[in-house]
Copies of this chain bind each other. A is one copy, B any other.
Amino acid sequence: MTAASASPLRLGIAGLGTVGIGVVKIIQRHADLLAARSGRPVVITAVSARDRTKNRDADLSNYAWEVDPVTLATRDDVDVFVELMGGHEGAARAATEAALAAGKDVVTANKALLAHHGHALAEMAEAAGRVIRFEAAVAGGIPVIKALTEGLAGNQIRRVMGVMNGTCNYILTRMETAGLPYDTVFEEARQLGYLEADPNLDVGGIDAGHKLAILAAIAFGTKVSFDDVVLEGIGRISIDDIRRAGDMGYKIKLLGVAQMTGRGLEQRMTPCLVPDSSPLGQLQGGTNMVVLEGDSVGQIVLRGAGAGEGPTASAVMGDVLDLARGLRLPTFGQPAATLSTPVAAVASAPAAYYLRLQLMDKPGALAKVATVLGDAGVSISRMRQYGHADTSAPVLIVTHKTTRDAIDVAIARFPATNVVEGEPVAIRIEEV
Interface residues of A (CB under 8 A from B): 3, 22, 26, 30, 33-34, 36-39, 135, 141-143, 146-147, 150-156, 221, 279, 282, 294-305, 308, 310-311, 313-318, 320-322, 325-329, 333-335, 338
Cα(A34)–Cα(B156), bound, Å: 10
Q: Are A33 and B338 in contact (CB under 8 A)?
A: no
A101 vs chain B, min Cβ distance (A) = 24
Contacts of A152 in B (CB 8 A): 143, 314, 318
Residue pairs across A and B with Cβ atoms less than 8 A apart, 30 shown, are: A3-B338, A26-B154, A30-B154, A30-B156, A33-B156, A34-B153, A36-B221, A37-B153, A141-B296, A143-B300, A150-B318, A150-B322, A152-B314, A153-B317, A153-B318, A154-B313, A154-B320, A154-B321, A296-B310, A296-B311, A296-B313, A297-B310, A297-B311, A297-B314, A301-B301, A301-B302, A302-B302, A326-B328, A327-B328, A327-B329
Q: Are A154 and B317 in contact (CB under 8 A)?
A: yes
Cα(A3)–Cα(B337), bound, Å: 12
Contacts of A22 in B (CB 8 A): 296
Cα(A36)–Cα(B153), bound, Å: 10
Interface of A is mostly: mixed
Total copies of the chain: 2
Contacts of A321 in B (CB 8 A): 150, 153-154
A45 vs chain B, min Cβ distance (A) = 18
Q: Are B329 and A325 in contact (CB under 8 A)?
A: yes
Cα(A54)–Cα(B48), bound, Å: 65
17 A-B pairs besides A154-B321, A296-B311 with CB distance below 8 A are A36-B221, A36-B338, A37-B334, A38-B153, A141-B297, A143-B147, A143-B151, A151-B318, A152-B314, A153-B318, A279-B282, A294-B314, A296-B310, A297-B304, A298-B308, A300-B303, A327-B329
Cα(A299)–Cα(B306), bound, Å: 11
- 3 pairs of A and B residues whose beta carbons are closest in the complex: A154-B317, A143-B151, A297-B314
Q: Are A314 and B279 in contact (CB under 8 A)?
A: no
Contacts of A221 in B (CB 8 A): 33, 36-37
Q: Are A143 and B150 in contact (CB under 8 A)?
A: yes
A298: contacting residue among B295, B311, B317, CB under 8 A: B311
Contacts of A153 in B (CB 8 A): 34, 37-38, 317-318, 321-322
